[in-house]
Amino acid sequence: MSTVTTSPSPLSSLQLKARIAGGLYLFTVLTAALGEGYLHGRLAYAVGLIAVAGMVVVTILVYMILRPVDKNLIFLATTINLVSCLFEAGRFSPQGVDIAVVMTGFFCLIIAIVLLRATFLPRLLALAMAIAGLGWLSFMSPSLASRLSPWNLACGLIGEAAFFLWLLLKGIDTQRWQQQNDAR
């Protein structure tokens, strides 16, 4: 009796990566909210670092998923978000400006451009990410962020959540992903 083992196809692996990115994003947001809202001191910082580590993985997965669309733009977005994670880990906020949040705004705007060009995800997600980016960019000015609060935060969270919930629940159209990847 022989047993045939099959390895998962690269496309099913990609679908799994999309779903992991979506789920890990939600875990990261909830972990960050827990650390910011309910914990203090070293425990809050440790939970924040867990959230940052999760976002690093999410960023790398998003790079892998969106690379066939425009490798240069997605590399720029990935670099910006990874630097954002470094700033978040270091809690770097000169003159009250949360640099990590502002950089996340640029990340979201670049992802929105990439999503407009993607054939394997709904283009409506580009609008959601653009709204998220604008919400996060309002934190460039502490007075503006304060005046727009809580709407800027809601725009950022809801816009990003739309993209990542889609990845978690629907994934990507792997056939169209392959076509776009082959066309590069």
Give residue-wise pLDDT tens across range 32-74. 999 888 999 999 999 999 999 999 999 999 999 999 999 999 9
Least confidently predicted of 4-13, 67-76, 140-149, 152-161: 4-13
- Cα 123 to Cα 34, 44, 99, 112, distances in angstroms: 32, 37, 28, 9
- Cα 112 to Cα 1, 36, 76, distances in angstroms: 52, 27, 13
**Rounded to an integer, what distance in angstroms lies between the CA atom of residue 31 and that of residue 41?**
15
Please report, rounded to a whole number, the percentage of residues in the chain having pLDDT higher than 90: 86
Q: pTM for the whole thing? A: 0.91
Which pLDDT band holds residue 8 (cuts at 50, 70, 90)?
Answer: low
What is the per-residue pLDDT across 154-168, written as a single tens digit (0 to 9) for each?
999 999 999 999 999
**Rounded to an integer, what distance in angstroms lies between the CA atom of residue 125 and that of residue 28?**
20
Mean pLDDT, range 96-107, rounded to an integer: 93
Burial class (CB in 10 A: 0-12, 13-18, 19+), 44: middle
Given this model, what pLDDT does residue 93 score? Answer: 82
150: cis peptide before it, omega within 30°? yes
**Rounded to an integer, what distance in angstroms lies between the CA atom of residue 113 and that of residue 69?**
10
- Cα 160 to Cα 48, 157, 171, distances in angstroms: 19, 5, 15
Given this model, what pLDDT does residue 97 score? Answer: 84
Q: CA 34, 38, 44 angle in degrees (round to 5)?
A: 70
Is the pLDDT higher at 149 or at 6?
A: 149
Which pLDDT band holds residue 10 (cuts at 50, 70, 90)?
Answer: low
**Rounded to an integer, what distance in angstroms lies between the CA atom of residue 168 and that of residue 161?**
10
Place of tokens 């440790």: 46
Neighbours of 113 (CB within 10 A): 18
Given this model, what pLDDT does residue 6 score? Answer: 55
Residue type, 86: L
